Amino acid sequence: MKRAGIILLLFVLSVSLFAQNRNIVAVRTAACPVIDGVLSDECWNSAASVNSFSQKSPFYGKPASQQSEVKVLYDDNGLYFGIRCWDSAPDSILRQLGTRDEDLNADRFNVKIDPYNNHLDAFVFGVYASGPQADSRFQDAAFNAVWKSETRIDDKGWTAEMYIPYSALRFPKAEVQTWGIQFERLIRRNRETNQWALEEQNASNVQMLWGTMSGMQGIDPPVRISLNPYLSASVSHFPHHDASVDDYSRSFGGGLDLKAGLSESYTVDITLLPDFSQVQSDDIINNLSAFETQYSEQRLFFKEAIDLFQKGGLFYSRRIGRTPRGFYGVYSQLDSGETVISNPSQAQLVNASKLSGRGNNGLAVGFFNAVTRNTYAEIRTADGGKRDILTEPFANYNILVIDKQFKNSNSFYIINNNALRERAYLSSNVTGAGTGIYLKKKNFKIAFNTAVTQNDSALFSKHATDRAGFAHATSFSKVRGNWIWTLGQSTRNSRFDYDDMGIMSMNNYQSYTFTSAYAWYNPVKWLKEFRVNNYFESSYRLTTGRSIGSEAMIRLSILTMKHHFYMWGGYEHSLSRAYNYYESRNPDIPYFEPHWSYAYLGFSSSYSKPFALDGDFSLINVPYDDSYAVNIALSPFIKIGNKFQLRYEIGTESVEHSVGYAGTDTLGMPLFGIRDVVTFNNTLSLTYVIRNYMPLTLRVRHYYNEGRYSDYMNLDENGEPFIHVDGDYNYDFTFNAFNIDFVYSWQFSPGSSLSLIWKTGIQNELLPTHMSYLQNFRHTLESDQFNSLTLKVIYYIDYQQVRRHKA
C-alpha cells in the first residue's frame, strides 16, 4: 500500500512538472493562410500542433470531454492560429450571434499570450463558434485591438482561424523570442472549461503555470500608429415653453482618436474633441443617503488602458466631464423675471491623453491628462438680454504613476493625482504609494498602502481645506488553497479628502477587518462547488473614539453540476449600535443608529437554455424602531434562435417605518422623519443581431421612487430621534426617471463603424399623489422629455496596413 502511494505521488509530481514545461513551436511560413475558418491551406500541414487538454471545470484535472487541436504559424507581420474543436454532437454547439466583447451563449476558444514571458501581463484573444470576437488584457479589461478571425461549424465540430498582427501586441526586441501562452476552450452547454496548460485552483498567478511558444526568430516590434477620425451629426429636442428659445438644437462635428507606440512597450493615446453621445444612459436613482451615487464608466477612452491609473483607488474617471458643481445652484441665483436658457449637465471635455505601458523589466509608467473648459449656464434677463453663470471652472487634470512588478510577483507603486484651476477655485493634490510582498512560496501576502491629500480653499468644495490629510491601510492574507483569508487595518484622518478626482464616502476613522472564504470543489457527485464566506468589521471615529460600525457576515453559495444552477444566500448583523456622522449632514450632530440585520437569497439558472431566470430576495430588519425593508428582484432571459434575445429586469423594494434624514427645520437643524418608501425599477433590454457586427439594441428603463413621512423629529444629545417637531413640514416625494436607448451599429470593416443612436430621457420630481403605478407611468410619459438622434461614423486607419498597401 505504501509503495502504491509513492508511485501515485511521483505520478502526480511528474504530471505537474510536465504541465509547467509545455511548449509549442511556432513555424515560420512564406505563404500566409487565408483567414476563412477553413483549415485547408497548404501551410497548415507544416505547422506543429498541440492537442492535450484537461478540464479546469467542472471536473478539475480530468481529460476534456471533447478533443481540441491548435496549430501556430508566423511571418514578419503577425501570428496565425489554426484551431480545430472536435465535437461528438455538432448540432448541440451553442452559437448565439452578437457583438464584440459580449458574453455570448456560445462556445468559445481563447488564445492568451504573455509576450515578455514574465508573468506580469497577458493579451487575450477569443473567438466564438458563431464568429464574434472578444479581446482583453489582464491589466486592461477594456483593451480593444484590430485583428482577424473566421469560424466554421461542420459535421466534426467547429474550426477557427485567427490572425493577430504584431501591432496588436507589445513584445521585446530580440532575435529569438519565447513567449508564454495558454490555450483555452469553453464548451458552453456543459459549462466546461478546458486548458492546454492546466492552471491551479486559486493560484495567485496563473501565468506561472502556462506553457511557452518558441521558434520565432527575426521579428521586430512594428511601428504602431493608428487613427480613428470620426464625424457626427445630431439633432435634439426639448420643450422649453419659451417662445424666445428654440426647442431644437443641431450640431455637426468631428474629432480624432490617435494611438502611437513610442516603443515596443509604451503607447500614447489621445482623443481630440471627443463625442460620447453613443454611450448608454446612466441608471439614475433618487439617492436618499448622505453619499454620492457612483455610476459606472461608459466612455471607452476612460475604460481602455485605465487600470494603471487606478492604483490606490484614488481616481474616479467620471470626475472628468462631471456634472458641474454649480449646476443645481443656478435657479437660486436668478433675479426676478429671469429664466434659464441652457444649463449644461456636463463640463465639456476639450481633449484627453494618456501614455502607458510596461517594459520587459516589469516597470510600468503612466501619465494621464485631461482638460475641461469653463462651463456656463445661459440666463435670459428680465429686459430680454442674456448673461452667464459659471457652473464649473476650467480644469487641468493630471495623473502620474509608476508601478514596478517584480518576477516573484512582488510589487511597488507610487501615484500622484492633481487638478489645477484658477486661484479662486479648488485645486487638489493627492499622492499615494503601496507595496505587495508574497511570502512562503506565495501562500501569504503582505500589502501596505498610504496616501496624502492636500486641497486649496475653494468656492465649490464643501470639504475644502488647505491642510494635509493622511491615510494608510495594511493587510496580511493567505492567498492560496481552499481556505483563504485576510486580516486588515485602515486609517483615515479627518483631513483626508481625495474627492476632487476620486470618489470618497468617509474619513476620520480607524477600521479593523477579517474576511475568509473556504471552497469545496466537487464535494459530492451532484455539486460542483460549495463556498462559505465570512466577514467581520469594527470601526471607530478617530476624533471621538466612538464606534461607527461593527458587523459580521456569513455567505453560502453552491453550484450544482447537472443543471448548472447557482444559488447563494447570506446573513449580516450589526454587533453593536453605532454613531453615523453623515446621515444628519452635520458632523457635529451624529445619529445613533440602532441594531440591524440583513438576510438575502439569490439564484441563477443555466443560460444554455432558451429560458433562464435570475432572482434576488432580501430582508432588512431594525427591531429597535420596528422598521423593515423587503427587496425582490427577478430577471427572466429569453433567447429565440441565435439572433434575438430579451431580458426583463423587475425590482421592487418596500421600506416601512424607517428613520432617516428628511431636511432641515426652521432653525436650520437636521430634521429626521419616519417614512415609508416604495421603489419600482423596470428595465427591458432587446438585442437583435441582423448579422455579426450589425446589431440592433433597445434598452428601456423606468425608475419610480415614492416616500411619505408620518412624523418629524430632531436628534437629542445622544443622537436619538426622540424630540418631536411641530410645524408645517412636508418632505414627501415622488421621483421618476425614464430612458430609452436605441442603437443600430454596423462594423463595416475592422475598427470602423457606423452608428445611429436615438435617446429619450425624462426626469420629474413632485409631491406624492394617490395615482396608481400605471397612472404615474402615464403621467411620466406625458412630462417634458429630451430626445436626441445622432449619426456617427468612425474610420480606422492603421499605419502598417497603409504601408503594406503602398508596397
Please spell the DSSP secondary structure of 722-746, one letter per residue.
-EE--S-----EEEEEEEEEEEEEE
Q: Can you tell me the distance from the alpha carbon of 104 to that of 130, in angstroms, rounded to the nearest whole number? A: 9
Question: Is 284 in contact with 703 (CB distance < 8 Å)?
Answer: yes
Domain boundary among 201, 217, 233: 217
For residue 444, how many C-alpha atoms fall within 13 Å in the half-sphere facing its CB? 6
Tell me what pLDDT residue 265 has: 85
pLDDT band at residue 277 under the 50/70/90 scheme: confident
Within this chain, do residues 49 and 134 fall inside the same structural domain, yes or no? Answer: yes
Instruction: Examine the pLDDT at 389 and tell me if it is beyond 60.
Output: yes
In this prediction, what percent of the chain has a pLDDT beyond 70? 96
Closest C-alpha to 220, from 258, 183, 261: 261
At 188-237, the pLDDT tens digits run 988 899 999 999 887 778 998 999 999 999 999 998 999 999 999 999 99
**Within 13 Å, how many C-alpha atoms sit on residue 333's CB side?**
17
Q: What 8-state DSSP symbol labels residue 106? A: B
Residues 53 and 144 in one domain: yes
Q: Quote the pTM value.
A: 0.88
The pLDDT of residue 7 is 38
pLDDT-based confidence at residue 120 (cuts at 50, 70, 90)? confident
Within 13 Å of residue 719, how many CA atoms lie on the same side as its CB?
A: 20
Q: Which of 98-102, 323-327, 523-527, 550-554 has the lowest mean pLDDT?
A: 523-527
Mean pLDDT of 440-463: 79
Residue 84 has pLDDT above 50, yes or no: yes
Residue type, 761: G
- In this prediction, residue 457 carries a pLDDT of 56
Last residue of a domain, one of 504, 527, 562: 504
More confident residue, 220 or 85: 85
Return the DSSP state at 374: -
- What is the arithmetic mean of pLDDT over 434-440? 92
For the segment 137-147, what is each residue's pLDDT rounded down to a tens digit? 987 878 889 99
Same domain, 181 and 83: yes
Residues 300 and 429 in one domain: yes
Q: What number of H helices and E strands is found in the chain? A: 3, 45
Is pLDDT above 50 for 6?
A: no
Cα–Cα distances in Å, from 557 out to 618, 634, 761? 15, 18, 39
Q: Are residues 135 and 51 in the same domain?
A: yes
pLDDT band at 18 (very low <50, low <70, confident <90, very high): very low
Other CB atoms within 10 A of residue 305 CB: 23
Q: What is the pLDDT of residues 186-201, one digit of tens each?
A: 999 888 999 999 998 8
Distances (CA, A) of 153 to 150, 460, 581, 662: 11, 60, 61, 61
If asked whether residues 456 and 361 sit together in one domain, one would say yes
Q: What is the mean pLDDT of residues 700-714?
A: 95
Residue 61: inside a domain: yes
pLDDT digits over 407-419, tens only? Answer: 778 999 999 999 9
Is residue 388 a part of any domain in this protein?
yes
State residue 562's pLDDT score.
64
Q: What integer best gives the mean pLDDT of the chain?
A: 90
Domain boundary among 446, 480, 504: 504
The angle subtended at Cα 246 by Cα 244 and Cα 251, nearest 5°, is 145
Those residues with Cβ within 8 angstroms of residue 683's Cβ, 6 or more apart along the chain or in another chain: 283, 647, 648, 649, 650, 699, 700, 701, 702
Q: Are 484 and 517 in contact, with CB atoms under 8 Å apart?
A: yes
Mean pLDDT of 647-676: 95
For residues 106 and 129, give the distance between their C-alpha atoms in angstroms, rounded to a whole number. 6
Q: Would you say residue 63 lies in a domain?
A: yes
Q: What is the pLDDT of residue 561?
A: 62
Domain membership of residue 474 (yes or no) is yes
Residue 249, all three cell numbers: 438644437
The pairing of strands 78-86 and 211-217 is: unpaired
Segment 560-609, tens digit of pLDDT = 766 678 889 999 999 999 999 999 999 999 999 999 999 999 999 887 78
Same-domain pairing of 303 and 201:
no
Residues 455 and 358 in one domain: yes
Q: Tens of pLDDT along 368-387?
A: 999 999 999 999 998 889 99
Query: Does the pLDDT at position 72 exceed 90?
Result: yes
* Per-residue pLDDT, 752: 93
Does residue 353 lie within any of the structural domains?
A: yes
Whole-number pLDDT of residue 11 = 37
CATH of the domain at 115: 2.60.40.1190
Tell me how crowded residue 584 is: count the other CB atoms within 10 A of its CB: 22
Which residues make Cβ contacts (< 8 Å) with residue 198, sequence separation at least 6? 19, 54, 56, 61, 209
Single-letter amino acid code for the residue at 724: H
Examine the domain organization and report whether 187 and 326 are in the same domain.
no
Q: What's the rounded mean pLDDT across residues 394-405?
A: 96
> Do 344 and 475 have their domain in common?
yes
C-alpha cell of residue 39: 483549415
Q: Which residue has the higher pLDDT, 763 or 566?
A: 763
The pLDDT tens digits of the residues spanning 231-263 come to: 999 999 999 888 878 889 999 999 999 999 988
- Residues 665-693 have a mean pLDDT of 94
pLDDT at 522: 73
Q: Identify the domain containing residue 101 by its residue range.
A: 19-217
**Residue 8 scores a pLDDT above 60:** no
Domain assignment present for 534: no
* Distance spanning both ends of the chain, measured CA to CA: 71
Only one residue has cell 488647505, namely: 466
* Residue 797 pLDDT: 93
Average pLDDT for 329-356: 91
Mean pLDDT of 347-366: 91
Q: Total domain count for the chain?
A: 2
Residue 2 has pLDDT above 90, yes or no: no
Q: What cell was used for 284?
A: 439614475
Which of 345, 349, 341 has the alpha carbon at shortest distance from 242? 341
| Count of Cβ atoms closer than 10 Å to residue 509 Cβ | 20
Average pLDDT value for residue range 450-459 = 79
Separation CA 742–CA 278 (nearest Å) = 10
Residue 385 lies in a domain: yes
Q: Are residues 313 and 211 in the same domain?
A: no
464 and 361, same domain (yes or no):
yes
| Residue 370 resides in a domain | yes
Handedness of CA 561, 562, 566, 570 (dihedral sign): negative
For the beta carbon of residue 407, count every other beta carbon within 10 angstroms.
11
549 neighbors 537 (Cβ within 8 angstroms):
yes
Percent of the chain at pLDDT above 90?
Answer: 71
Residue 742 C-alpha cell reads as 436605441
